[in-house]
Amino acid sequence: MLPCTQKIAELPFKPKGVILSGGPYSVYEANAPHVDPALFELGVPILGICYGLQELAWHHGKNVLAGEKHEYGHAYLTIERHSESEEHIDRLFKGMEKEMEVWMSHGDKLSKLPDNFHPIASTSNAPFAGIASTSKPYFGIQFHPEVTHTPKGKQVISNFAIEICKARPDWTMEKFVDKEIERIRVMVGKKGQVIGAVSGGVDSTVAAKLMQEAIGDRFHAVLVDNGVMRLDEARTVKETLTQHLGINLTVIDASDLFLGRLKGISDPEKKRKIIGNTFIEVFQNQAKEIAKAAANTPQAGDIEWLLQGTLYPDVIESVSFKGPSATIKTHHNVGGLLEGMHLKLIEPLRELFKDEVRALGTNLGIPEDLVWRHPFPGPGIAIRILGEVTPEQVRIAREADKIFIDEIQAAGLYRKISQAFAALLPVKAVGVMGDKRVHDQVIALRAVETIDFMTADWYPFDGQFLKRVSRRIVNEVNGVVRVLYDVTSKPPGTIEME
């Protein structure tokens, strides 16, 4: 994935083909991004998607303008077939049925067909929903084949990459693991040592296991128990990582320090900052200890590297043509914050998407329940306890969360749901328990389904399930009198509550 500003002469390899992606600009705007025209001299197949199609048309005669109607959502695409002599222009939709459901998201359109192009597909609103050059392997589509709402989209991409570009689909997880382990060994060398924080989540565990396979105990994992992890989490993470995965792990129990600093704080942003900064402080002190100890090991190497579980979506974000986005989460940048240690970053997952990280985890022998873990925020349940975080609030939120997650697992719903948790609201409500009036706390349950975490919908549990969870929480968690279920989608809600 390269930014569109890439100079073709400076490409470090010769591609088999190029896909021009979509984008928010309009090609006719003054400041719109354009590809290096040398791209069209490369002589390789090109597929333009949405903005990419418009860019292709713009290059071939500037035939793009704002449409009268915007088109967002489902559309039906009709594929046109051509005579046998022009068969090559049908290759993009080879083997596909005449009609298919596609997802559209555009406002601009082609005003006319560029010279030497043929229409290969249309919708009722877009006569040029698909075009192909009659003389060159150039294709453009107005719809988005890359989203789940275009069910046959993968076939289109595969036709382009495999049939048209002749790319070989020979990437396998086994080969990736071997190559990556070798690459890490060469990079780190015979003496270098690597340090990295682990959280018990999928990404950091998979990255840690890969390091352990590559360099054994020269990788030093650190788990900081911040006092706001899930119930029993620190203990179970330690068990899994050391006993099952053989990772060289140090656990630091800093719960008192974190909870002490969180005392009296109820502003969500302040909570996040305190937890983030305290984490860096604790991790940094530990890193120095480990560095001292490492200097006395048989390998006597210095800690030169910091492991980070960066995934490909973060990388994509940082190649935006306007430069790295300011929205990249700060926890991906702890590297720069380890003052005075001058560590180099090692990011073995940077070419993988989440589903591939999971497949890699399975391949490395990481237990299934860890590989399929729901995401858990860095500030932990501190941001699921609305209001002040006290040890007593932590107890309540943890116990309620444990019951909710256990019930989701027992009902076989854990993998269907993308993220679920119990939040503790900063209010009290009245109830009656054992004939006595009580005034106690309120738990809000949240469970969402999502593919990419950008948008999400709440999970429609059946009534019996909610009844069971609510009864258990009220009966088993001291201090809770009511249980609510959050029925807000994202947007406008966020997945977490703070």
Residue number with CB closer to ligand GLN (108 or 213): 108
> Of residues 144, 180, 399, 407, which has the active-site annotation?
144
In the sheet that holds 303-307, the strands lie side by side as 249-253, 219-225, 193-197, 303-307, 344-346
Shortest distance, position 434 Cβ to ligand GLN, whole Å: 60
The verdict on whether residue 204 carries a ligand-binding annotation is yes
Residue 304 binds ligand GLN, judged by CB under 6 A: no
The site string for ligand GLN over 403-422 (x = CB under 6 A, - otherwise) reads --------------------
What is the footprint of ligand GLN within residues 221-250 (CB under 6 A)?
none
Shortest distance, position 74 Cβ to ligand GLN, whole Å: 15
Shortest distance, position 70 Cβ to ligand GLN, whole Å: 7
The site string for ligand GLN over 70-109 (x = CB under 6 A, - otherwise) reads -----------------------------------xxxx-
Interface with ligand GLN (CB under 6 A), residue total 11
| 146 belongs to the catalytic site | yes
Contact (Cβ atoms closer than 8 angstroms) between residue 451 and residue 483 = no
Distance CA 55, CA 47 (A): 11
The verdict on whether residue 309 carries a ligand-binding annotation is no
Residue number with CB closer to ligand GLN (107 or 323): 107
| 144 belongs to the catalytic site | yes
Shortest distance, position 471 Cβ to ligand GLN, whole Å: 48
What is the 3-class SS of the chain, one letter each residue?
CCCCCCCHHHCCCCCCCEEECCCCCCCCCCCCCCCCHHHHHCCCCEEEECHHHHHHHHHCCCCEEEEEEEEEEEEEEEECCCCHHHHHHHHHHCCCCCEEEEEEEEEEEECCCCCCEEEEEECCCCCCCEEEECCCCEEEECCCCCCCCCCCHHHHHHHHHHHHCCCCCCCCHHHHHHHHHHHHHHHHCCCCEEEEECCCCHHHHHHHHHHHHHHHHHEEEEEEECCCCCCCHHHHHHHHHHHHCCCCEEEEECHHHHHHHHCCCCCHHHHHHHHHHHHHHHHHHHHHHHHHHHCCCCCCCCEEEEECCCCHHHHHHHCCCCCCCCCCCHHHHHHHHCCCCCCEEECCCCCCCHHHHHHHHHHCCCCHHHHCCCCCCCCHHHHCECCCCCHHHHHHHHHHHHHHHHHHHHCCCCCCCCEEEEEEEEEEEEEEECCEEEEEEEEEEEEEECCCCCCEEECCCCHHHHHHHHHHHHHHCCCEEEEEECCCCECCCCCCCC
The verdict on whether residue 201 carries a ligand-binding annotation is yes
Distance CA 113, CA 128 (A): 7
Shortest distance, position 192 Cβ to ligand GLN, whole Å: 44
Residue number with CB closer to ligand GLN (313 or 391): 313
Residue number with CB closer to ligand GLN (51 or 117): 51
| 50 belongs to the catalytic site | yes
Cβ-closest position to ligand GLN = 22
Residue number with CB closer to ligand GLN (51 or 421): 51
> Of residues 4, 50, 213, 220, which has the active-site annotation?
50
Shortest distance, position 58 Cβ to ligand GLN, whole Å: 11
Shortest distance, position 138 Cβ to ligand GLN, whole Å: 17
The verdict on whether residue 200 carries a ligand-binding annotation is yes
> Of residues 70, 82, 118, 146, which has the active-site annotation?
146
The site string for ligand GLN over 16-55 (x = CB under 6 A, - otherwise) reads ------xxxxx-----------------------xx----
Residue set of the binding site for ATP:
199-205
Q: Which spans of this chain sit near ligand GLN (rule: CB under 6 A)?
A: 22-26, 50-51, 105-108
Which residues are designated catalytic? 50, 144, 146
